[in-house]
Structure 1
Amino acid sequence: MATSSVLALLVAQPAFAQDQAATPADSAAAKAGTAEPKSERANGEIIVTATKVATNVQDVPIAITAVTAKALEDRQVNTFADLGSIVPNATFQKEGAIYGAGVSVTIRGIGLVDTQFSQEPAVAYYIDDIYYPFLFGSNFDLLDLDHVEVLRGPQGTLFGRNAISGAVNMVSRKPSFDDLSAYVDMKAGSRNRTDVRAGVNLPISDTMAIGVSMVAKRQRGYMKILDFSCQMYKNGTPELAGTYPFASSKTSYAGGVQKPKNCVIDHAGGEDVRAARATLRWEPANNIELNITGDYSYANNEGAADKVTDINMQLTAGHLRGLDSLGAPYGDYTGVIVNSGPGVNRNLITLFDLYSVPGTPFRFDQRFLTDDIYSTYETNCDRLPSGYKISGNTYYNGSIYRGGNCWGRRVPVENWGLNGKLRVGITSDIEALAIFGMRRIHTQFGANYDGTPLVDAYIYHEDDMKYWTGEFRLTGQHGWVDWTAGLFYYDGTATERGQPQNTAAGTQQFHDVFYYPNAKAAYLNVTLRPYELFSFAEGLSLNGGLRRSTDKKLVDYTAQFDATPAGQIQFVPSSSSTYFTLPIKNTRWDWKLGADYKITDDIMIYGSAATGYRLPGFNTRIFQAGQIEQQFPTALISYELGFKADFFDRRVRLNGDAFWMAYSMRNGSFGGREPRYDPSSTALVIKPGLETLIPDGPIGTAWEGQFTNCRPYNAATDGPPNGSTVGIECIGRSWNYPVKGGDPIRGVELEATVEPIDRLIANFSLGYTDRGSTTGRPLTFPDWTLSGGVQYRFDIPAIAGSLTPRLDWFWTGKIAYSSNYPEFDTPARSLFNGRLTYENDKDQYEIAAGVTNLLNKKYFIQRTIFTRLALSVDLAQPGEPRSWYVSFSKRF
């Protein structure tokens, strides 16, 4: 099932992976060079499609990691997000709850986190040659996966969609004409995990076959959602619960009811997925092949496991802070507590005050920080009904369009698609390939992100995406020259209905975004082998590519802020509402030049230079009107030198490369603060407060002092408030600016496979990326990534099969999440996985037991630092704790 989600390849629990035998027609076509690229195995090698000609991975002069589904299963790469752990200089990670269902991918320090349509991914995703354009819905499962290819560096001259930092190509197994077979794969494990996979290959004739597969899997999340009041009573601090009610009678301490065993009311981080895929393969002649595939999947997963790690208690509860070493108001708490003053939010004070008792104020403070990284009080629901009014609160002002936001803790995603591929061998040397794909995705999610059962801010999105892609490709092989020429077309429509609630800012926004992307491209790639003509050039190949791209996207954006008076039914938008259309387009040439040299049959060196580009985006996550602005495009040139080598009769394989990427332009972002405007006013009136606006900007750039920032008001030096720059209230925002040139990105990558004796195999990978510091400390990506694994197969006749123990190690270096505050860095971490597999070759079944995060390491996958943007909390997503499973797989 290539279920649409690129990501979801989900590598995730790949299906019971067996090598598919090639038919005689397949083999003949491959020898003639006319076969559609596929993943036959020869002497244990992986045949990849990266150059659009079926090629041994060791003969491809590209930095590429190719892994079979069986190898992924053995290494317990159970989700698409886990794939980054074995790919040098790559991170694949599940998005946080506020971004919905998606997986973000970064390669060589360039990627994308935001799932919104406003941003262009830096990595292009393909499933069986079908382009997948969105991060939304990108964490589904992929059935019948044969292998996955991760290409690093710009790939615009070989793939339909331009890719500035890399491409992920997932290849499914084709139905076989001569193999009536079936398989079933079942797993059970931690947290009520149950997985069932099944498939059948049905030959209809010598030229037609059908493959059908399905998956159903479910697992409870590893993040506990706690009843806040229950937990306060359980902790022996009932006074901290104030008058906040218990979630239910099952977790209540009230009325003499028996004390509950625990305070858990739900979980986060779990999954519930159903998917099916069917493929028809027809080959009426050796030179004609048609594949038609349809797939459907439905996921109703729990929201991501987000954890609040810190609270800005000056903002939320009036705990006054001093200045830090940078002169910002984020220093130590002074011990002074007030209900108003610099940076204190009255909306949060009055909201939480609803549950105060005399002498013990109920506040948004450290009582909502649990001791366990796997627990939270977040309910993702505003328990106050629409139209609720709180005196002195500018959010709960009686408008029926405020309050009552509650969409549950699930993230449903429906995903279905249809694609077809027609291959025609025009001559013995030239092949034509026509590809068509269409897909429809619908998802919705609501997420609160303050770690409390009340609502500081709440995000709701409902997204509908539909698109189709078409590609026509000609491939030729003529002895001394190989060439590929292609035309690519992509057209889509995406709509988003959002309802961001910002209690602290006093705003309720309703936005509608209509997004119309369109891309056209023509590309040509040529490989020359001069040694076919001149003997002195023995072992030398030259390659080059050219691409012409026309990309555009029209954005129709409406953001209406609620200004409806209390008691009125008719919606009244604020005059500060935003309406705009934004056409973004670009026409561009990209190119690639390279050469490789075979020193021996087993050793190759190569070098290349290539350009890459991606369209600019814009910011849709705004806190008030006027914060929407278009970002700047990114363009670069990438240089790469590498080698691929096999030694000792292929018992030792080493692949390595060094790269250097120079920007010609990129988008810089400066995080600061600007005056907050009164959302209840019909004009943009600055709210009075105790801050002062000052010039600011990224230090060491031409934009230093070009933006603004706020600091605490000082009457002695600032003078009396003037209502515009002195004595005002501020709110966080970011500014964008173009960065030309600057520090390059550079690094090295190494992959090794060693088989010193039969049946003993070890793997190793290393990646290092230096992104420079033109725009401050590089964020969200580690400098170093390493992984290693070892396994040995014991053939034991007494048990009619073999036992294979395997141990894997994954190391990720330190990651920074704030340019100026290293205390928010996540430290380097090591994780270990273990697996024991029994294989019975005679009866074709397999039994395995595995453990992930063997040492139960507690760590965070990613972090979001909001407090330094004058917001309430910092978020982090904890990694999954130690988990186990047992599996049974059977082929028929």
Structure 2
Amino acid sequence: MIRIRGVGTNSYVPAIRPAVGIFIDDIPLGAPESAYNNMADIERIEILKGPQATLFGKEVSSGAISLFTRRPDTQLMDAYVEGNFGNLGKQEFRLGGNLPLGDHFGLRASVYNNQSDGSITNISYNNKRMGDVEATGYRLRLLWEASDNFSAILGYEDHDVEVYGTNSLAQEHGDLYTIWEQSVLGISDPAQSKLDIIDPYSRKNSHSAPNGLRNSLTKIWSLNMNWEINDNWSITSVTSDQEWSNLTPGDDGSGFVNSAGQRVYDTADTSVGPYKLNDFYQDAATDTTTQELRVNWEDGDWSSVFGAFYAQTDTISYVPFSNLLGAFGPNLIIKAAGLSDLREDISEWALFSHNIYSIREGLDLTFGARYSNVEKESLKGQMLGVGPLADLNSPFVPATLWADNIPKQKDSWDEISGTVKLTYWLNDEISIYGGWDRGFKAGGHNVCKGDLPEADCPPPFASEIADNFEIGMKSRLFDNSLVFNTALFYQSYDDYQVDIQDEEGIGNSVQNAAKVKIQGIEAEFQWLATDQLRIDGNLSYVDARWDEYADAECLRPQYQAIACTQNPNGSFTQDLGGQRLNYTSPWTGNVNATYSGDFGNGIGWYVRGEVAFRDDRLFFPDLDPDVRDGSYTLLNASAGISAADGTWDVIFWAKNLADEEYLINAERNRDQSNPNFGGTPYEGYRVTAGDERTYGVTLKYRFNES
């Protein structure tokens, strides 16, 4: 869950493209879920805020995070081994280095294995531990320096991540649980009920599903080539082929074969409670091929980049499910099986240019333009009465008639975006700037539903257009001992794309809010107070609001009853104009201090303290007040010693020293009854708590440097 200036994507939503783009060595990731697998051999990380249309092959509407790995070398031989050990069973091992292969080749490699124990005990499933994680992978990069003017890097990385169980915890149970206890189990004594609400910070949950596996696999091939034609011209090519897949069964992934001869997995549960009411498992995959070509030109006061970009992305999300609709005793249980089958092919291409012209000494003009075209062909259907879990159907639930013929949806979107910016140097130490950026995020298709011979396919949702106006200052003062930067920004989004959990069935759909406006101020500093003391930090105020959102849907039925009105289509909506955007915190900031020295024998030491603050936030897009998190402050600390020759480090660290209690996510439980089978619908929700206090030691050794 990554947000920049209040905007981002909360979770894996096949229909919606993330507003924050993630890049590794200039490669735009087709599946952002694969971003942070191997952080051991990263050289630097760059964060760009606001729309980026002309700096990258793939444009982004809110911001970009660029990770750059260490480049292979044809001369230097080095290697390192690292271990990271802490409480909650943390064991992380990393090994990497560079190997010259003659005068023209160099190989850089890194491999890792990370393991940690979950901190949650599932009291409804044999006190099993939830949240265990194991990740294994490697990265290879082969450099070919054919000449002083041409080089190519062939890269491959492979990652396997396994997560067991869930850390989420129900904070309210829907009426289905009450019906199940009273009508099926015959429990009327509250003392015998399992529907007690557990404190989310107790590190316990009550979940009926097995301690199941979520397994994600990532494979990325890449080829980066650079040709320096002469002092003025150069060409850069970035090619990638990416595969990401995720399997979410309820068991160990082996499954079983049902009566129709289909392999079925012991399912997970969307209701997240002490009784298993709603079954599902998910098999998702994203395959992406990208090609970016940049022609770079520089001469005196002028530099330009002319680029072309193409990407082909194929996504699949296959989710068999079964929902309990109601129960009136052990012999009358209404359950509907179904299948959510989402397939989408996305083709996109763009032409872009980014230019910097020095008008005169100390005054630079940056400008650029981009044309983007995105075409999506979708087969997205949610069908009842069919699929691998159809054996669970109630006899009252018919199969969807169009199950073998999901309607095809095909549309394209295009847009011209760009940037204009002026930078003025007041002197050698201080510059001020101001400018405008426009970003674009293509529209798309929602899921077709219905039980008619032809499915009910909603109209496509519109493209999102982001405009950012910003002025700021950057400075290096007092002989570069103080770096201070600040920015004042106003950002507006037209047809802002909102992911909404569906009222019926499973999954999410995307709705356009007419307009979102975000304004705020940011400041950051780095201060070398003395030769031994360094202090750095940042502070930001972000006022992010739904500017125009007259038809915002209400999610939970009990909130609908008090906040929403029913429109002619039968949906409950509200006007959120002027209200705060969900998942945004007005104030955030941190301050860090590092004090360092040596023991006189060359061995260096340091101590570091960190304080991070986040303001309160509402989680649901309808601003349901029951689902929120208060403000919190986290304290982190570390201390370490290093060899005089830099060959080894020992670092002791602790995070969340005060064991602060805070939440990181909230979702609906989907555990309400169907009103056609009695009762007023009432739905629960669940939350996920942030990490408790963790501590440990990191050991690192470097050798064979030459």
Cα displacement string for residues 237-271 of structure 1 (whole angstroms, at most 9, x for unaligned residues): xxxxxxxxxx4xxxxxxxxxxxxxxxx22222x31
Shift of 1:555: 0.9
CA change 1:154–1:418 in 2 (3 A) is same
**Among candidates 678, 681, 685, match of residue 874 of structure 1:** 685
Shift of 1:461: 0.9
Shift of 1:655: 0.8
CA distance in 1, matches of 2:161, 2:55: 33
Q: Helix, strand or coil: the match of 2:440?
A: strand
Question: Are residue 632 (structure 1) and residue 632 (structure 2) matched?
Answer: no
**Among candidates 578, 583, 595, match of residue 422 of structure 2:** 595
Structure with bigger gyration radius: 1
**Among candidates 151, 164, 171, match of residue 289 of structure 1:** 151
**Among candidates 413, 427, 431, match of residue 216 of structure 2:** 413
Shift of 1:199: 0.9
Corresponding residue for residue 829 of structure 1 = 632
User: For 1:670-819, what aligned pairs fall within 5 Å after superposition?
Assistant: 738-740=512-514, 742=515, 744-774=517-547, 775=549, 776=576, 777=579, 778-798=581-601, 800-818=602-620, 819=622
CA change 1:368–1:855 in 2 (3 A) is closer
Question: Are residue 154 (structure 1) and residue 51 (structure 2) matched?
Answer: yes
CA contact (8 A) 1:636 1:665 kept: no
Alignment RMSD, CA only?
3.0
| Residue identity opposite 1:366 in structure 2 | L
Shift of 1:363: 7.9
**Among candidates 217, 232, 243, match of residue 440 of structure 1:** 243
How many residue pairs align between the two structures?
A: 630
CA distance in 2, matches of 1:868, 1:109: 30
| Residue identity opposite 2:438 in structure 1 | T
**Among candidates 167, 170, 177, match of residue 316 of structure 1:** 177
Q: TM-score when scaled to structure 2? A: 0.83
- Runs of at least 5 residues in structure 1 that lack an aligned partner in the other structure: 1-103, 229-246, 248-263, 318-345, 382-407, 532-537, 677-730
CA distance in 1, matches of 2:509, 2:227: 52
Question: Are residue 167 (structure 1) and residue 52 (structure 2) matched?
Answer: no
Corresponding residue for residue 37 of structure 1 = none
CA change 1:364–1:528 in 2 (3 A) is farther
| Residue identity opposite 2:539 in structure 1 | L
| Residue identity opposite 2:28 in structure 1 | Y
**Among candidates 352, 369, 375, match of residue 198 of structure 2:** 369
Cα displacement string for residues 703-747 of structure 1 (whole angstroms, at most 9, x for unaligned residues): xxxxxxxxxxxxxxxxxxxxxxxxxxxx9999976554x562111
Corresponding residue for residue 466 of structure 1 = 287
CA change 1:599–1:203 in 2 (3 A) is same
| Residue identity opposite 1:279 in structure 2 | R
CA contact (8 A) 1:348 1:456 kept: no
CA change 1:119–1:623 in 2 (3 A) is farther
Shift of 1:348: 6.7
**Among candidates 609, 634, 650, match of residue 436 of structure 2:** 609
CA distance in 1, matches of 2:385, 2:467: 46
| Residue identity opposite 1:307 in structure 2 | L
CA contact (8 A) 2:430 2:473 kept: yes
CA distance in 1, matches of 2:507, 2:227: 54
CA distance in 2, matches of 1:871, 1:135: 34
Corresponding residue for residue 266 of structure 1 = 129
Shift of 1:488: 0.5
CA change 1:556–1:865 in 2 (3 A) is closer
**Among candidates 382, 406, 411, match of residue 579 of structure 1:** 406
CA change 1:620–1:811 in 2 (3 A) is farther
Corresponding residue for residue 115 of structure 1 = 12
Shift of 1:621: 11
Question: Are residue 641 (structure 1) and residue 471 (structure 2) matched?
Answer: yes
Q: Helix, strand or coil: the match of 2:196?
A: helix
CA contact (8 A) 1:459 1:500 kept: yes
Cα displacement string for residues 71-130 of structure 1 (whole angstroms, at most 9, x for unaligned residues): xxxxxxxxxxxxxxxxxxxxxxxxxxxxxxxxx222122211241321111111110011
Question: Are residue 520 (structure 1) and residue 349 (structure 2) matched?
Answer: yes
CA change 1:491–1:737 in 2 (3 A) is closer
Shift of 1:787: 1.0
CA distance in 1, matches of 2:51, 2:392: 55
CA distance in 2, matches of 1:439, 1:157: 23
CA distance in 1, matches of 2:85, 2:64: 33
| Residue identity opposite 1:757 in structure 2 | T
| Residue identity opposite 2:585 in structure 1 | P
Corresponding residue for residue 238 of structure 1 = none
CA distance in 1, matches of 2:509, 2:414: 26
CA contact (8 A) 2:201 2:689 kept: no
- Runs of at least 5 residues in structure 2 that lack an aligned partner in the other structure: 250-267, 327-334, 550-575, 673-680
Q: Helix, strand or coil: the match of 1:158?
A: coil
Q: Helix, strand or coil: the match of 1:877?
A: strand
**Among candidates 375, 384, 395, match of residue 561 of structure 1:** 384
CA change 1:376–1:561 in 2 (3 A) is same
| Residue identity opposite 1:152 in structure 2 | K
Shift of 1:134: 2.2
CA distance in 1, matches of 2:133, 2:351: 40
Provide the identity percentage: 18
CA distance in 1, matches of 2:287, 2:501: 34
Shift of 1:411: 1.1
Once structures 1 and 2 are overlaid, which stretch shifts more, 627-636 or 775-784?
627-636
Q: Helix, strand or coil: the match of 2:545?
A: coil
Q: Helix, strand or coil: the match of 1:493?
A: strand
CA contact (8 A) 1:137 1:443 kept: no
CA distance in 2, matches of 1:748, 1:797: 44
Once structures 1 and 2 are overlaid, which stretch shifts more, 860-869 or 836-845?
860-869
CA contact (8 A) 1:378 1:449 kept: no
CA change 1:771–1:868 in 2 (3 A) is farther
CA distance in 2, matches of 1:582, 1:371: 42
Question: Are residue 380 (structure 1) and residue 209 (structure 2) matched?
Answer: yes
Shift of 1:576: 7.8
Select the structure that is richer in helix. Answer: 1
Q: Helix, strand or coil: the match of 2:406?
A: strand
Cα displacement string for residues 260-313 of structure 1 (whole angstroms, at most 9, x for unaligned residues): xxxx22222x3101111111112122111111111111111224411112224x
Q: TM-score when scaled to structure 1? A: 0.66
Shift of 1:824: 2.9
Corresponding residue for residue 688 of structure 1 = none
Shift of 1:633: 2.2
Q: Helix, strand or coil: the match of 2:617?
A: coil
